[in-house]
Amino acid sequence: MIDTVAFDADDTLWQNEKFFQITQQSFESLLKDHSNTDDLGARLLAAEKRNLEVYGFGIKGFVLSMIETAIEVTDETLPPATVRQILEIGREMMAHPIELLPGAGDAVEAVSSNYRTVLLTKGDLFDQERKIAQSGLAKLFDHIEIVPQKSMRTYEEVFGRLGSGASQGLMVGNSLRSDVNPMLEAGGWAIYVAHPLTWEVEHAEVPNSNERFRQAKELREVPDLIKSLTVEARKPAGA
């Protein structure tokens, strides 16, 4: 039986990585005249990975990683005006209007009529709250949870507190590393809805052999897929 369904938010319900990539392009053009590095993208990614444990996920950490990378690749000659421009492109990201993915509202609404429905997102509390408010989807959820990261323990804790445990829970998301694999590890169900622009850090192997793993091409397939799982779970053994 499945009693609680949680949706990831960034790149599952609304666009996110797209805005990081646009900002990264602006960052690269800001630094063009100050550095000869041709692997700026790789240097930035390395800084982001280094800093995840310190700053957590989100735009603020990304901005600090851009500044750190800029200082490195300019041998500490980065002009203060460029630092200010980096801060500005970060601020624009924080103010960017949210862009829902196709079918997001309908999928959540359909699921919420049959299951306890949760928005489970990781990252910066302030920014996630802004996006949730702007999305107009908040009223469709029974609970909203913003967590610093998503691990097996996160799923055990959240589904234990809000539902009847991870084994009767299902997670829908675009990240194999954050949404799918730790939920399966916790003994729950997971539906992977791939997004073409998923951040490199969120990649992992597709757990095709796990019997509680499913994949949907788009969000609008999710409500029927969950219904079919519930029927399957109700079948007596051997049926």
* Binding residues vs Mg ion (CB under 5 A): 8, 10-12, 174-175
CA-closest candidate to residue 120, choices 3, 4, 6, 2: 6
| Closer by beta carbon to Mg ion, 11 or else 48 | 11
Q: Are 178 and 8 in contact (CB under 8 A)?
A: yes
Let me know: does 134 contact 98? Beta carbons within 8 Å: yes
Please report how close the Cβ of residue 7 comes to Mg ion at its closest, in angstroms. 10
The distance of closest approach from Cβ of residue 208 to Mg ion in the complex, given in angstroms and rounded to an integer, is 20
Q: Which is nearer to Mg ion, 135 or 175 (CB)?
A: 175
Q: Are 95 and 119 in contact (CB under 8 A)?
A: no
Q: Determine the Cα–Cα distance for residues 67 and 182; give it in Å rounded to an integer.
A: 32
Residue appearing with tokens 């990585």: 17
Element (H, E) at 81: helix 80-95
* Residue number, 189 or 192, with CB nearest to Mg ion: 192
What is the smallest separation between the CB atom of 204 and Mg ion, expressed in angstroms? 13
Under DSSP, the state recorded for 171 is: E
The distance of closest approach from Cβ of residue 179 to Mg ion in the complex, given in angstroms and rounded to an integer, is 7
Q: Cβ 94 to Mg ion, closest distance in Å?
A: 18
Q: For residue 72, give the amino acid letter.
A: E
Q: Which is nearer to Mg ion, 13 or 40 (CB)?
A: 13
User: Between β-strands 169-173 and 4-7, what pairing exists: parallel, antiparallel or unpaired?
Assistant: parallel
**Is 87 or 206 the residue whose CB approaches Mg ion more closely?**
206
